[in-house]
């Protein structure tokens, strides 16, 4: 009898919809696919400038979707939703460059944040995770711009360095702040609606 109960418990755990379970339930797969679809729509149709006079840097809210996914279902789901939705960006004007930069920006925010939150699943843990993610994301975005953007633009690295203070830094700070504040506001209602 004890063996049967243990077996039943193991089967239940393997189909958990949270990161604690080793398996992926049908519900979790479906919700992850939904997150990816919504994030893809954001990347393709909801891009707009947020810094006056810097129209070439476009913001989209897809990182909010990825953060919610990472908090609700763990870092692995966060990584999936931080990468797959950006593949269609290859078809955009920025092509591979835009895709790579978007993945770096989102992944560097979502992965640290969801890893911290997994260890402390409270509001304080979420805030701490987003603070850590914000620092990592900012560093990665500036670093990636200095390495990748000169190759894409065919310009000297100094040109990008000269853009950091007037354009890159304020854009990335604003983008990270919007993503984190919006996630903090909508996370609970969204996860409650998903039944997580």
Q: What is the pLDDT of residues 118-153, one digit of tens each?
A: 999 999 999 999 999 999 999 999 999 999 989 888
User: Which backbone phi and psi does 59 adopt, to 5 degrees?
Assistant: -100, 145
To 10 degrees, what angle do helices 62-73 and 75-83 make? Answer: 160
| H-run or E-run covering 175 | helix 169-194
Residue 12 has pLDDT above 50, yes or no: no
User: Partners of 58 in the beta sheet?
Assistant: 49
Q: Which residue has the higher pLDDT, 48 or 66?
A: 66
Distance CA 195, CA 72 (A): 10
Cβ-Cβ contacts under 8 Å for 14 (sequence gap 6 or more): 21, 22, 23
For residue 19, pLDDT over 70 is answered with no
- 182 class by beta-carbon count within 10 Å (0-12 exposed, 13-18 middle, 19+ buried): middle
Q: Which pLDDT does position 55 carry in this prediction?
A: 82
Secondary structure E strands in the chain: 48-49, 58-59
Asked if pLDDT for residue 15 goes beyond 60, the answer is no
- Residue 54 pLDDT: 77
Task: State the chain's mean pLDDT as an integer.
Answer: 85
Give, in order, the Cα–Cα distances in Å from 76 to each of 29, 60, 115. Answer: 12, 22, 9
Cβ atoms of 66 and 106 within 8 Å: the answer is yes
Q: Is 104 a residue whose pLDDT tops 50? A: yes
Please write the tens of the pLDDT for every residue from 27-44. Answer: 889 999 999 999 999 988
- Per-range mean pLDDT, top range of 8-17, 92-101, 179-188: 179-188
Tell if the pTM clears 0.85, that is, is over it. no
The predicted pLDDT at position 110 comes to: 97
């Amino acid at each position: 009898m004890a063996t049967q109960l243990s077996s039943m418990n193991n089967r239940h755990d393997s189909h958990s919809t949270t990161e604690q379970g080793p398996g992926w339930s049908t519900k979790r797969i479906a919700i992850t696919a939904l997150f990816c679809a919504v994030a893809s729509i954001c990347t393709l149709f909801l891009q707009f400038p947020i810094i006056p006079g810097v129209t070439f840097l476009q913001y989209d809210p897809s990182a909010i979707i990825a953060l919610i996914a990472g908090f609700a279902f763990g870092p692995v789901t966060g990584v999936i939703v931080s990468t797959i939705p950006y593949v269609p960006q290859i078809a955009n004007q920025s092509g591979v460059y835009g895709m790579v930069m978007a993945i770096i920006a989102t992944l560097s925010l979502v992965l640290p944040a969801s890893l911290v939150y997994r260890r402390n699943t409270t509001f304080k843990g979420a805030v701490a995770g987003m603070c850590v993610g914000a620092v990592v994301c900012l560093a990665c975005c500036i670093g990636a711009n200095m390495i990748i953007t000169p190759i894409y633009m065919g310009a000297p690295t100094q040109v990008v360095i000269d853009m950091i203070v007037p354009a890159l830094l304020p854009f990335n700070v604003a983008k990270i702040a919007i993503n984190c504040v919006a996630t903090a506001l909508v996370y609970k209602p969204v996860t409650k609606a998903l039944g997580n």
